[in-house]
Amino acid sequence: MDIMQDIVAKPAFFLLGIPIRNSVVATWIMMFLVIVGVVVLRKMRPIVLEMLVDFTDSLAAGFISGPRAPYVPFLGSLLVFIAVANLIGIVPTIFTPTRDINTPLALSLVVLVATFAFGIQAKGIGRFLKGFATPLAVLDVIGYFSRTMSLTLRLFGNVIGSEIVVAVLFALVPVGIPLVMVAMGSITGVLQAYVFTVLASSYISSSIEL
């Protein structure tokens, strides 16, 4: 029970009577660190940012044909945000934001909205909506929202599963093996960011197909 209490998001403080969860506080900290990191890298090591852009572009190229410039900033932001969110929990006392299901759900909803927005941008609102004017329109709508739930549960399930395993091992064997699991969890966290971004790329691709 104590282990589960440590894993579940809890209110860190109250603002005007509204509970602010530790996952939200961790997200604020993470966003600040990402912004500072980008500013520093832009001035001192711009090649690192160029490599990230090239990596994201090559990732998108596997799904999106034609110009990818409108989509790379969005996909790169997703990749960095989720990777850092999954890794920041390594720092003592900082909660992993993606351990709170609201964060994966919010990210998945952002992907859903972006999918619609990019589709309308590529086709025009008339052609985009015309794609739903079929006998299978209901199934298409269900498909969009099932993707959202799939993205949410995949990211949340992998993160929370890894956190539970590490927490149990720390309780049973405080030294050694848990540290190995933390390292493996870090690799898994980066991999989950990659998978999430790949899936977002495929959804955008299907939405903008002419």
Residue 156 CB burial class (10 angstroms; 0-12, 13-18, ≥19): buried
Taking the model in full, what pTM does it have? 0.86
Q: Are 45 and 118 within 8 A, CB to CB?
A: no
pLDDT of residue 3: 46
Q: What is the DSSP letter of 1?
A: -
Give the model's pLDDT for residue 50.
Answer: 92
Encode the chain (210 residues) as per-residue pLDDT tens digits. 444 555 677 777 888 888 888 889 999 999 999 999 999 999 988 899 999 999 999 999 988 887 888 899 999 999 999 999 999 988 878 888 998 899 999 999 999 999 999 999 988 888 888 877 777 778 878 888 899 999 999 999 888 887 777 767 666 766 666 667 677 778 888 999 999 999 999 999 988 885
Is 148:112 a contact under the CB 8 Å cutoff? yes
Q: Euclidean distance between the first and final Cα of the chain, in Å? A: 53
